[in-house]
Amino acid sequence: MEIELTVHDQGDRLDRWLSQQLDQMSRSHLQKLIEQGNIHLNNQICTNKKTKVNEGDYLLVFVPPPQPLELKPEPIPLDILYEDDSLIIINKAAGLVVHPAPGHSTGTLVHGLLHHCPNLAGIGGVQRPGIVHRLDKDTTGAIVVAKTDYAHQHLQAQLKAKTARREYLGVVYGVPQSKLDNNHNQGTINLPIGRHRVDRQKMAVVPVEKGGRDAVTHWKIVERLGNYSLMEFRLETGRTHQIRVHSSYIGHPILGDRVYSSGKSVGVNLSGQALHAYKLILEHPVTGETVEAIAPLPDELTKLLTVLRQKST
């Protein structure tokens, strides 16, 4: 596949600019394409990711076809919320990594999907067959996987156009307030997110001019629980750790988040952050009908809410 691009702004370093234009590709993937000579800048091969692009520059991006998959299917139990010939929606459990990564070469959702859907190999990429979007390892809930190339492209386009909706429930410390709402119980966090400058394993609020990418999270208080709040989050963008980073930045981190909060105990032994992707709404890529998947709350989150309700009365 070839992608033609023209720079219409002041430009930036090559890998950063490409990642802003091609949301469907990770920055690391684009860096590999650059290193492998798959990027032509003004009809010349460019292998330096730090090369600055300027207004008027013409780029040609060559994306090699997916290579034969070498991952071995594994009989991992899957909680299926919806499935047909085009897509499957899973209620992901806590602790389940979505796709292979350093330190997680086996036992991922992808391995389980390959066992359940033998024809999934090659869809959308070698290490992430069919994966349209991610959920963090310890975040539970609904995640959609495409079974065909057409469905994969269609679903990714919906996420990019913001026509697909992803809604989360999470428990945060304190009670957020918004100056834009008379009741102070709903608002929007519009802050760019990028890689943390010191700890490269973390994300952070980073200015766009320093590599941050636009990130918008809409929030609403569902229930006040004493010194805690049950929140509903709706993602307009899908940056890595977006809800966790935004919540922490405004001073109301997600309970149980060992990366972006203190992680102090609240009387319930949480295996991860108290964040659950409870609703996924999208357009079926073939029929055009609306598909709405609701993922039941995991037992840990149900128990946490029960404990906090008892403490707040």
Q: Is 69 domain-assigned?
A: no
* This model's pTM is above 0.85: no
Task: Provide the pairing of β-strand 216-225 with 186-190.
Answer: antiparallel
Out of 161, 192, 222, pick the residue that ends a domain. 161
Q: Which residue, 126, 161, 196, sits at the end of a domain?
A: 161
CATH number of the domain at 145, please.
3.30.2350.10
Residue type, 145: V
Task: Supply the residues annotated as catalytic.
Answer: 136
Helix (H) / strand (E) element for 300: namely helix 299-312
134/148 Cα distance (integer angstroms): 18
CB within 8 A of 262, min separation 6: which ones?
A: 253
Closest CA to 163 of 297, 288, 301: 288
Q: Which two tokens stand for residue 238?
A: 């899908």
Within a domain: residue 239?
yes
Count of residues for the chain?
313
Number of domains in the chain: 3
Interatomic CA distance for residues 276 and 13, integer angstroms? 36
Taking each continuous run of H as one helix and of E as one strand, the counts in the chain are 6, 15
Q: Would you say residue 70 lies in a domain?
A: no
pLDDT (tens digit per residue) in 109-121: 999 999 999 887 6
Residue 68 has pLDDT above 60, yes or no: no
- One domain, residues 283 and 202: yes
pLDDT of residue 263: 63
Q: Are residues 153 and 56 in the same domain?
A: no
Whether residue 172 has pLDDT greater than 90:
yes
pLDDT of residue 269: 82
Q: Is residue 196 part of a domain?
A: yes
Summarised one tens digit per residue, pLDDT across range 282-297 is 999 999 999 999 999 9
Residues 36 and 132 in one domain: no
Question: Tens digit of pLDDT for each residue in 252-269?
Answer: 999 999 899 876 667 788
The tokens for 239 are 């940056």
Task: Give the range of the structural domain holding residue 33, as residue numbers without chain letter.
Answer: 2-62
Q: What is the pLDDT of residue 122?
A: 65
What's the CATH code of the domain at 8? 3.10.290.10
Give burial (CB, 10 Å; 0-12/13-18/19+) of 67.
exposed
- Residue 67 within a domain: no
Q: Decide which of 123, 144, 161 is a domain's last residue.
A: 161
Per-residue pLDDT of 188-247, as tens digits, reads 999 999 888 888 678 999 998 888 899 999 999 999 999 999 999 999 998 999 999 999
pLDDT at 120: 79
